[in-house]
Amino acid sequence: MSALAASLKTLGLFYTAQNLDAFLTQHKRADPLALLTALAKAEETERKRRSLERRNRSCRVARFTPMADFDWAWPKTIPRQPIEAALTLDFIDAAQNIVLIGPAGVGKTMIAKNLVHTAVIKGHAALFITAAELLNDLAKRDTAAALERRLKFYCHSIALLCIDEVGYISYESRGADLLFQIISRRHERKSLVLTSNLAFSDWHTVFPNAACTVAMIDRLVEHASIIEIHGNSWRKKNAEAAILARATKSKSKT
């Protein structure tokens, strides 16, 4: 049995090797074809599970509010149909982009995280990262070869790349050039989800000294669904409600 388990590991059948006794006991009356069919199915199921776990760990979504709990009535204006259409992920197969624009607290990041999570569940390699994290990661590469390897990771290894919070921090020309590289290399090849608190006409304030801003926006929006959300901050609403609840509770005790 130990020799068989070792052979199974050599063949990459790790799940069967680790559960060999239980597997043989469960299928002891099966004919050879049924036994092999069960083995293949068990290995396939386990590999899918491990693959999903790896994608979940690497996508960096962490905690998020599912769309089922989203209050569609809270924003003053929100185009529900294109958001629900985006959640089907058809835009990934078409190598199109989703751009979410609106002030802080209206649900842009939450929607973006739901898109990434859904992509992971459906078998895509996906990554959620803020613009600051992305550009800092690229900027710290100390050689041209190291930078190129990292650009290839972001541009070719990830089916769906979500860049969050473009607009909250301004960058020098170097940052604009790096973001342009990402957008340009993924253009018509891989999908992007991008969130921003600024209209495109204000992106010059994010990249004040960059010559590539117009070209960057041009490539980003050519095959994109632009979703604008307007309203007040949900986080501010929750904070105010919590303050009111504490004040009410304090008065009731006096």
Q: Are residues 137 and 50 in the same domain?
A: no
CA 124 to the chain's CA centroid: 10
- The torsion region of residue 62 among left (phi > 0), alpha (psi -120 to 50) and beta comes to left
Average pLDDT over residues 163-180: 93
Q: Are residues 90 and 38 in the same domain?
A: no
pLDDT at 254: 64
pLDDT at 189: 97
Give a yes or no: residue 223 inside a domain.
yes
The structure tokens listed for 222 are 């050519």
Give a yes or no: residue 248 inside a domain.
no
Q: Are residues 110 and 76 in the same domain?
A: yes
Q: Are residues 96 and 146 in the same domain?
A: yes
Q: Are residues 120 and 167 in the same domain?
A: yes
Q: Are residues 140 and 15 in the same domain?
A: no
Q: Are residues 40 and 78 in the same domain?
A: no
Give a yes or no: residue 62 inside a domain.
no
pLDDT at 113: 97
Q: Are residues 28 and 96 in the same domain?
A: no
pLDDT in tens, 108-147: 999 999 999 999 999 999 999 999 999 999 999 999 999 9
Asked which of 57, 79, 98 is the last residue of a domain, the reply is 57
What's the pLDDT band for 227 if we cut at 50, 70, 90?
very high
Average pLDDT over residues 3-12: 86
Give a yes or no: residue 95 inside a domain.
yes
Q: Please, is 113 exposed, middle or buried when counting C-beta atoms within 10 Å of its C-beta (0-12, 13-18, 19+)?
A: buried
pLDDT at 186: 97
What's the pLDDT band for 244 if we cut at 50, 70, 90?
low
Give a yes or no: residue 30 inside a domain.
yes
Give a yes or no: residue 249 inside a domain.
no
Q: Are residues 221 and 103 in the same domain?
A: yes
E strands, 42-182, are 97-101, 126-130, 160-166
From residue 161, alpha-carbon distances to 72, 100, 128 in Å are: 25, 14, 6
pLDDT in tens, 46-77: 888 887 888 888 899 988 999 999 999 989 99
Give a yes or no: residue 137 inside a domain.
yes
Q: Are residues 22 and 91 in the same domain?
A: no
Give a yes or no: residue 121 inside a domain.
yes
Average pLDDT over residues 33-57: 85
Q: Which domain holds residue 200?
A: 67-236
Q: Are residues 53 and 131 in the same domain?
A: no
Handedness of CA 11, 17, 21, 23 (dihedral sign): negative
CATH number assigned to the domain comprising residue 127 = 3.40.50.300
| pLDDT-above-90 percentage for the chain | 64
Q: How far apart are CA 83 and CA 79, in angstroms?
A: 7
Average pLDDT over residues 167-181: 93
pLDDT in tens, 183-217: 999 999 999 999 999 999 999 999 988 889 999 99
What is the tally of structural domains in the chain? 2
Q: Are residues 221 and 170 in the same domain?
A: yes
Report which of 186, 179, 174 is spatially closest to residue 130, judged by C-alpha positions. Answer: 179
| Residue 235 in this model has a pLDDT that exceeds 80 | no
